[in-house]
Structure 1
Amino acid sequence: MLGILFAVLTLATAALGCGVPAYPPAVSKVVGGEDARPYSWPWQASLQYSSSGKWHHTCGGTLIASNWVMTAAHCISSSRTYRVFLGKYNLNVEEAGSIAVQPQKIIVHEKWNPNNVANGYDIALIKLTEHVTLSKQIELACLPAPQSILASNTACYVTGWGRLQTNGALPDDLQQGLLLVVDYATCSKTGWWGSTVKRNMVCAGGDGITSSCNGDSGGPLNCQGADGRWEVHGIVSFGSALGCNFYHKPSVFTRVSDFNSWIQQVMDSN
């Protein structure tokens, strides 16, 4: 028990400072995505790659320590050069207080199989070349307790710069979308995701209105704990090939609480 407790404390990375934005998010019950309040998800990262001399947003990420960002394994390609942008709200304008940092190394989960996303293990950690200075715009996310499972209908928020709808435009401003958790028993039913969804995943949404979409991958599923802190329970992994807001095809996330020990081990050994 003490070992678990220690892991929780170290993972929360001096938990005193995690999960409490200086600018609290405007968590209205709006169905469908909406502009987030600027800098209200201060652990949100933009993973960007270089092409033809320009940087392009490709995925989201979550700052979990001053020099570590968590994202999805499917976001990583060995042929690309990446940077991580922190403290951003509008990706198309210069913002005071934001910072772009190069990765020192990227560790993809050893069980990740790019040819079988449904196998799970869609998680990667990016070690930054420097420790970033935390501020009102850049804060750490809290991670959930190991193996904690969200109750059905828990209200969480997916955040990112992904497409506003299937094949739609990419927004400049960070978006947030209210998603209700769908428990594993429901999500694994025939007519939902069936055997595609695994126990090390979280389903949320599926109302046919709000979901994550292309470009949100790797970003956080933010759920508020009983103590008021925001915890990142999920990493955007996959959705339906039929479209982003398909009925009974909730957004599927890597369940962070299944990977606490892996995260800790990677951070300790690198």
Structure 2
Amino acid sequence: MLMAIGSSTLTYRVVLGEHNLAVEDDGTVVAEVEKIVVHEKWNSFFIINDIALIKLTEPVQESDTIQAACLPPSGLELENDYPCEITGWGRLSTGGPLAEVLQQALLPVVDYATCSQSDWWGGLVRTSMLCAGGDGVVSGCNGDSGGPLSCQRNGLWEVHGIVSFGSSWGCNTAKKPTVFTRVSAYIDWINEKISEN
């Protein structure tokens, strides 16, 4: 998709199968973007409806390095401490360098009742969000935004979250888990946009 901003033009592309950004990986595929569909009620100030879909110009074939993940059932909420994995090339620590190699870490789910407590995220967290981590040791960090929180359920990997925000006090702040858009809250919207586009 091309977007005109002032006098410059931005071109978006999707890179699949990437692992080490410093090395040309075998099996990496660069796909052109036909369209980006941003949620029509997205609000960057309150960080709500923080979700978008990307339509590629052509289908991508699965391979050893490119595999599809499933979507969770509509409305599903994982229980507290459910084991999930965050992946991304964000900063390795608060203010630290960006990762060159894809990072992966276990981030257990923090249920809404806990995450919405006043000494956790309080009223900043909504039921359309999912919290994970918060132990003060492992978390998402700047640069991980938009990446997945993947959870294995019934033998299949599902994308349950999309990295939305973290603490301004630091990436590994206790009781400030990484906050994700809860994908299961948007299944009807995803299906509607896929059928329209």
* CA-to-aligned-CA distance 1:200-231 (integer Å, 9 cap, x gap): 00001111000001111111101110x21111
The aligned residue for residue 19 of structure 2 is 89
Amino acid at match of 2:193: V
Secondary structure, aligned partner of 2:173: coil
Are residue 188 (structure 1) and residue 116 (structure 2) matched?
A: yes
How has the CA–CA distance of structure 1 residues 78 and 253 changed in structure 2, closer, same or farther, with 3 Å as cutoff?
farther
Q: What residue number does 2:129 align with?
A: 201
Q: Residue 100 of structure 1 corresponds to which residue in structure 2?
A: 30
**Does residue 1:111 correspond to 2:38, yes or no?**
no
TM-align CA RMSD: 1.2
Aligned residues: 191
Q: Could you say which residue in structure 2 is the equivalent of 1:213? A: 141
In the TM superposition, residue 126 of structure 1 has moved relative to its aligned partner by 0.7
Structure 2 partner of 1:250? 177
- Runs (4+) of structure 1 moved beyond 4 Å? none
Q: Give the share of equivalent positions with the same residue, in percent.
A: 57
* Equivalent residue letter for 1:116: F
Report what 2:161 is aligned to: 234
Relative CO higher for 1 or 2, CA cutoff 8 Å, sep ≥ 6?
1
TM-score (norm 1): 0.69
Counterpart selection for 2:103 from 147, 153, 175 = 175
Deviation at 1:116, TM superposition (A): 2.2
By how many angstroms is 1:78 displaced? Answer: 7.0
Structure 1, unaligned runs of 5 or more: 1-76
Report the TM-score when normalising by structure 2.
0.94
Unaligned 5+ runs, structure 2: none
Residues 120-164 of structure 1: per-residue CA shift (max 9 Å, x gap): 210000111111111121111111111000000111110011111
**1:259 alignment partner, one of 186, 190, 193:** 186
